[in-house]
């Protein structure tokens, strides 16, 4: 979209829609994304964030609809990652702002990205305020949400929180507000975003939420740098983050697997039957068709992860190695786990998967099931038993 939207009096969304992006370093963005920037018209005209480099024209076009870019006095960089600052060199050239506000680590990161000593940096410590005229902006450092440099900008009088990567979703829409789209679908995108980007920083985000609650900020609107703006009941996304940061799980198991000739897939079905017999919901994620980032969304609120792969060349299948590497980096916690898989003659996969599950500090409660070639009745009975065993452990936790 190339039109600016007034989201509150004299506050404009001026970002860019990326309908085509399908991969965000390993995260599948099947519905694209948006790079949001916000423009405030006040005595000091201020731009909050920019966009990914190829979208600089979209941003400038949006700005032109509100003011001449050269009329912008201040530029705030809440986060230096290139999806928000890639267009910065060209935008700096176009607007030549009087000041460029950033966090202490933001200045360091900007210098290390763009190597421009001559920009008019103004470092703003956490809690500091600046006046735009009628409005006050308060800055709040939010380290590791999503990079060390990240910060929030809070427009006090308008009760608007510009939250950078926090509370975002990768979802390109012509709508700009949460109350204009189906709530369930929006929350699903927000959950996927949290599971695949912010999950490893859950401890820090939990502290940040507590800090913000202590500050008792009045919030009418949360404006993230990706996706929809939270206008109706904006605190619903803060409540969702609170649950996600504490990694609260449901009575649910994820069975994630890859298979060569369907023996491991058949085992997965039998495990699923075992879980169902004990009344525990299971999600089957077949890595031949399901993307790692969708698996992670399911893993986030699951109490158990059961991972299966056939053995190929004395190893697990490459898609399972990819999955486990990705999952390990995102550090999901408090999971019950087990491994399974079929093999032809050597059969290392179950042992290797189990080792990785243990490295992730998952509670491996069952030695797993490893079966040769095509599973028959007795082998499948073992798989059903594995499912029931996991289900009992899931239920024991409440
Ligand atoms: Fe980021
Ligand atoms: Fe981002």
CATH number for position 154: 3.60.15.10
Confidence at residue 344, expressed as pLDDT on a 0 to 100 scale: 97
Measure 368 CA to ligand 2 centroid, in angstroms. Answer: 39
Q: Of 245, 273, 288, at which residue does a domain stop?
A: 245
The mean pLDDT values, 10 residues at a time, for the chain of 398 residues are 87 98 96 98 98 97 96 98 98 97 98 98 97 98 94 97 97 98 98 98 94 90 98 96 95 98 98 98 98 98 98 98 98 97 97 98 96 98 98 96
Same domain, 176 and 263: no
Same domain, 201 and 348: no
Measure 25 CA to ligand 1 centroid, in angstroms. Answer: 11
Ligand nearest 52 Cα, by number? 2
What CATH code is carried by the domain that includes residue 265?
3.40.50.360
Quote the distance between the C-alpha of residue 379 and its chain's center.
39
Measure 362 CA to ligand 1 centroid, in angstroms. Answer: 28
> How many domains does the chain contain in total?
2
221: helix, strand or coil: strand
Same domain, 354 and 229: no
Measure 146 CA to ligand 1 centroid, in angstroms. Answer: 5
Selection from 198, 172, 196 nearest residue 185 by Cα: 172
**Per-position b or e across 35-52, b if 16+ CB within 10 A of its CB:** bbbbbbbbebbbbbbbbb
Same domain, 224 and 314: no
| Ion ligand 1, residue ranges at CB < 5 A | 81, 146, 165
Q: Of 211, 245, 279, at which residue does a domain stop?
A: 245
Ligand nearest 84 Cα, by number? 2
Q: Which domain holds residue 68?
A: 5-245
CA-CA distance, 131 to 393, in Å (whole number)? 56
pTM score of the predicted model = 0.96
Measure 81 CA to ligand 1 centroid, in angstroms. Answer: 5
Catalytic residues: 25, 79, 81, 83, 146, 165, 193, 226
Same domain, 220 and 303: no
Measure 311 CA to ligand 1 centroid, in angstroms. Answer: 37
Same domain, 231 and 309: no
């Amino acid at each position: 979209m190339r039109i600016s939207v007034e989201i509150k009096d004299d506050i404009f969304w001026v970002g860019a829609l990326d309908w085509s992006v399908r991969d965000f370093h390993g995260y599948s963005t099947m519905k694209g994304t948006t790079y949001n920037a916000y423009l405030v018209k006040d005595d000091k005209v201020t731009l909050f964030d920019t966009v990914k480099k190829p979208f600089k024209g979209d941003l400038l076009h949006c700005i032109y609809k509100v003011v001449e870019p050269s009329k912008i006095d201040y530029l705030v960089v809440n986060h230096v990652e290139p999806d928000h600052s890639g267009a910065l060199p060209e935008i700096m050239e176009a607007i030549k702002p009087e000041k460029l506000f950033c966090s202490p680590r933001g200045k360091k990161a900007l210098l290390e990205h763009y190597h421009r000593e001559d920009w008019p940096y103004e470092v703003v410590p956490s809690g500091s305020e600046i006046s735009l005229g009628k409005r006050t902006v308060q800055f709040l450092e939010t380290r590791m949400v999503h990079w060390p440099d990240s910060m929030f900008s809070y427009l006090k009088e308008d009760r608007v929180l510009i939250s950078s990567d926090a509370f975002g979703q990768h979802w390109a829409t012509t709508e700009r507000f949460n109350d204009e789209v189906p709530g369930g679908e929006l929350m699903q995108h927000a959950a996927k975003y949290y599971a695949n980007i912010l999950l490893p920083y859950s401890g820090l985000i939990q502290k940040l939420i507590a800090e913000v609650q202590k500050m008792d900020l009045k919030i009418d609107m949360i404006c993230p740098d990706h996706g929809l703006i939270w206008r109706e009941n904006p605190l619903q996304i803060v409540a969702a983050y609170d649950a996600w940061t504490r990694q609260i799980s449901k009575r649910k198991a994820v069975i994630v697997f890859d298979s060569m000739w369907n023996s491991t897939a058949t085992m997965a079905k039998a495990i699923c039957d075992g879980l169902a017999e004990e009344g525990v919901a299971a999600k089957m994620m077949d890595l031949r068709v399901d993307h790692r980032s969708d698996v992670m969304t399911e893993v986030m609120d699951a109490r158990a992860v059961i991972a299966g792969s056939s053995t190929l060349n004395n190893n697990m299948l490459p898609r399972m190695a990819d999955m486990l590497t990705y999952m390990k980096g995102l550090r999901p916690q408090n999971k019950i786990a087990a491994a399974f898989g079929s093999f032809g003659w050597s059969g290392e996969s179950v042992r290797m998967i189990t080792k990785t599950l243990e490295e992730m500090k998952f509670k491996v409660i069952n030695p797993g099931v490893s079966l040769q070639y095509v599973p028959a009745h007795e082998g499948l009975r073992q798989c059903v038993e594995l499912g029931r065993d996991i289900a009992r452990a899931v239920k024991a936790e409440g």
